[in-house]
Chains A and B, each alone.
Chain A
Amino acid sequence: MDGIELRELVPRVLSVLVRRGAGFATAEDAVQEALIKALSAWEREAPADPTGWLVTVAWRSFLDMTRSATARRDREVRFDAEPPAGAVPSVDDTLGLYFLCAHPDLSSSSAVALTLRAVGGLTTRQIAQAYLVPEATMAQRISRAKRTVSEAGVEGPGDVRTVMRILYLVFNEGYSGDIDLAAEAIRLTRQLAATLDDPEVQGLLALMLLHHARRRSRTRADGSIVPLAEQDRDQWDTELIAEGIDIAQAALARDQLGQYQAQAAIAALHADATRVEETDWVQIVEWYDELLRFADTPIVRLNRAVAVGEADGAPAGLAALTEIDGDVLRRDAVAAYLHERNGDLELAARLYAVAARNAPNLAERDHQTRQAARLNELLQRR
């Protein structure tokens, strides 16, 4: 049994404990303890009934925790360690767990951490490593999140849009440490899509698959960025692309468009082009116009300006750029690219240098610095 199979059992075991009457916060701690025990005890051989094993061990942990908590309360005459009975969240299935962990009262970082632990079955240490924070910090973030959820309680079925936003945040974190967060986000979104019939969830899953399919071609071995136009398309994962396109088309056929489906449609159009010259930019612009109806953000407008530049020429792209504020992240990079396409190499070189200065990470800074250097060399040769 590998780590992923084990992780899949975690939300189920947690649901069993909650159904038996355990409070969510303590039950979740108990399942985490059982998970950590399983990771070492099962290293050589998994038990015949893994779920049964986990339920038994987790329940024993839960009883221990409850007993010691009761004893402490009796000693200290404290009654605030447990939430009032009426506010105890009822979680009876995995879908409920998704909603609970993406509770609207939680900050994004708390919801991400809680989702990865309670639904994803990751250990606190793995989550801490993935987000490059000390394990104690992550443990505190998770226990505070559980307190917030317990105090706020759960009414109604929860908001699937929040769940999707949290899963997409995890996906975009990529990978650092030994946990591939993008793959984990795909697994959790797949599981959500199997539980909940919603074209937007299908759209999100398709979007993730289509982006993930191109991952290998996006960076070189030394970590440097390869722009879409220069990617080696033979490296794209055609199976993932086929699956992503199928899911996106099935979702779109239901005629309930949303932002993730629109983004998936754009990703599908890129994935469909075997050479960059074959990209259907006109249709991509149309999809960006659709996307704007659901998510009118500077980032969407910026990406749209790039697409307009490809579909209708650089001047049209530059015109689309004028409606975007100067301080929007990566605007200088897009402006530099469009001015280069427009033949104004000196301005483009200056803008690439500005883009390098304002880059949000080292890989992008290095990339923009290289672009500036490339143009300056061209200009000197003239």
Chain B
Amino acid sequence: MAKYLLLKHYRGAPAPKNDIPMGEWKPAEVDAHIKFMNDFAEQLERNGEFVDAQALSPDGVWVRYDGEGKAPVTDGPFAETKDLIAGWMVIDVDSHDRALELAAQLSAAPGANGEPIHEWLEVRPFMNERPNVTD
């Protein structure tokens, strides 16, 4: 089994095919989308592939150390052009192909006009391959 992070972006990902903001969808389309997301997570749990899912607020700042006794330096909120993560899902799956398959399923979530959004998701393998101890 291997863990993968599926990252969803508010901004910074290539534009999806069905790119209409959620606030402009019809109520039934919003409902269908929310139901799809809930069902997807439940299905992963039933499969034994779900680890974690979290959504992030769009508010955020950069911060860094500014020397002894000084308050941290902050920069933000993020500029409109900045890549911005919306949330993630961590899955534990048998293969890289399975991770891609699940990400594609998630990307098919219905959006405006009931059509799949075709949203781009970032798939990142965890760096937790066992160390080689056979040398």
- A contacts, CB < 8 Å to B: 222-224, 349, 352-353, 356-358, 360, 362, 365-366, 369-370, 372-374, 376-377
Contact = CB atoms under 8 A, between A and B. Distances in A.
Nearest to A359: B57
A357 B23 CA distance: 10
Contacts of B25: 373
Interface class of chain B by DSSP:
helix
Contacts of A358: 57-59
A287 B21 CA distance: 41
Interface of B: 21-27, 29-31, 34-35, 38, 55, 57-59
Given A360-B57, A373-B29, A366 B23 contact: no
Contact of B23 (A223, A224, A362, A372): A372
Given A357-B58, A360-B57, A362-B55, A373 B34 contact: no
Given A222-B35, A224-B34, A373 B23 contact: yes
A376 B34 contact: no
Given A358-B57, A360-B57, A365-B55, 19 more contacts: A222-B34, A352-B23, A356-B22, A358-B58, A366-B30, A369-B23, A369-B30, A370-B27, A370-B30, A370-B31, A373-B22, A373-B25, A373-B26, A373-B27, A374-B27, A376-B24, A376-B26, A377-B26, A377-B27
Contacts of A372: 23
A376 B23 contact: yes
Given A360-B57, A362-B55, A373 B38 contact: no
A186 B24 CA distance: 42
Contacts of B58: 357-358
Nearest to B38: A222
A252 to B, nearest CB: 39
A356 B35 CA distance: 17
Nearest to B87: A362
Q: Which 5 A-B pairs have the closest CB atoms?
A: A353-B23, A372-B23, A373-B27, A373-B30, A374-B27
21 contacts: A222-B34, A224-B34, A349-B23, A353-B21, A353-B23, A356-B22, A356-B23, A358-B58, A360-B57, A362-B55, A365-B55, A366-B30, A366-B34, A369-B23, A370-B31, A373-B24, A373-B25, A373-B30, A374-B27, A377-B26, A377-B27
A349 B59 CA distance: 21
A49 to B, nearest CB: 43
A369 B111 CA distance: 13
A371 to B, nearest CB: 9
A361 to B, nearest CB: 8
Q: Which of the listed residues A358, A373, A377 has the most CB atoms from chain B within 10 Å of its own CB?
A: A373
A179 B38 CA distance: 23
B32 to A, nearest CB: 11
A112 B34 CA distance: 33
B24 A369 contact: no
A376 B57 CA distance: 24
